[in-house]
Amino acid sequence: MEQMGKFKRVLGPGLNLVPPLISRVIKMDLRTIPLDVPDQEIVTKDKQRVRVGAVIHVRVVDPIKAYYEIEDYRRAIIYMVQTLLRALLGGMDLDEISSRARINNHLRDILNEAVDRWGIRVETVETRMAFPFGADK
């Protein structure tokens, strides 16, 4: 809750008294939120094209940081994952990309380090890949 433009306190469950006209209540969902990262084409180290997307499950653990430290944490996380996927998979061969569990865990660890300052925790990362026609993966 903000009073006269300044953060006052986090409202808990139950009845809360909010002075009208000078107060503003900001609602934030503290449940796990799935974020869909759109598919993008990535060129691997051995010059193979792969379409890669992802689904990330995130949870707000600190609503104060999630509201005041970043404008739109959902969009920021999606952009960050797109960039990380290009950088990570672009440096791998097509054979190395087939180990999705290792890639998912690595992405989750990198993301958790980055979004911790925003009061967000990344719970899971699931990549989805479409290999080029004729590839045996």
| Residue 49 near residue 132, CB atoms below 8 Å | yes
Tens of each residue's pLDDT in the chain, 137 residues: 888 889 888 888 889 889 999 999 988 999 999 999 999 999 999 988 999 999 999 999 999 999 999 999 999 999 999 999 999 999 999 888 888 899 999 999 999 999 999 999 999 999 998 876 555 44
Q: Can you give the pTM of this predicted structure?
A: 0.85
What pLDDT score was predicted for residue 134?
Answer: 53
What pLDDT score was predicted for residue 130?
Answer: 83
CATH topology classification for 31-130: Tetrahydropterin Synthase; Chain A (3.30.479)
What pLDDT score was predicted for residue 133?
Answer: 55
Provide the strand spans (E) within 1-103.
2-3, 6-7, 23-24, 33-43, 49-60
List, edge to edge, every strand of the sheet that includes 2-3. Answer: 6-7, 2-3, 23-24
Domain ranges of the chain: 1-27, 31-130
